[in-house]
């Protein structure tokens, strides 16, 4: 049996109860717009910068959905700058990146 717990334009949560009584919560989200924006930035060849020149200046390396961010936090990647940069550079995560990746 499946029961929709919540649903909006981009997210859906479903409770799934199996025959043996086990309950799973399944969360899905539509990431189409995020991936389209990442592709447009990647194909433009331009770097997206934040801040002014100097120590506070940063550039965008990628954009992820809230659910993907939660997964990266759980995996110990999100708050580790080296791991996060490596994750975005990996070709397996190419669609989340706004730069060209390497394997």
Could you please report the per-residue DSSP string of 71-98? HHHHTT-TT-HHHHHHHHHSGGGGGGBS
- Ranges of each domain in the chain: 1-30, 31-50+59-103
Q: Give the predicted TM-score (pTM) of the model.
A: 0.75
Confidence at residue 86, expressed as pLDDT on a 0 to 100 scale: 94
- Residue 3's Cβ-side half-sphere holds a number of Cα atoms within 13 Å equal to 7
Percent of all residues in the chain with a pLDDT value above 70, rounded to a whole number: 90
Q: What is the pLDDT of residues 37-57, one digit of tens each?
A: 999 999 988 877 776 665 566
Confidence at residue 8, expressed as pLDDT on a 0 to 100 scale: 86
pLDDT for 64 beyond 50:
yes
Average pLDDT value for the chain:
87
Confidence at residue 52, expressed as pLDDT on a 0 to 100 scale: 65
């Amino acid at each position: 049996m499946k029961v929709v717990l919540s649903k909006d334009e981009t997210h859906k949560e479903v409770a799934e109860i199996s025959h043996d009584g086990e309950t799973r919560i399944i969360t899905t989200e539509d990431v189409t717009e995020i991936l389209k924006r990442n592709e447009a930035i990647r194909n433009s060849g331009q770097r997206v910068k934040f801040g002014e020149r100097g120590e506070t200046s940063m550039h965008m390396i990628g954009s992820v959905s809230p659910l993907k961010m939660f997964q990266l936090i759980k995996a110990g990647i999100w708050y580790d700058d080296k791991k996060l940069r490596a994750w975005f550079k990996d070709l397996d995560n190419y669609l989340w990146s706004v730069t060209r990746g390497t394997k």
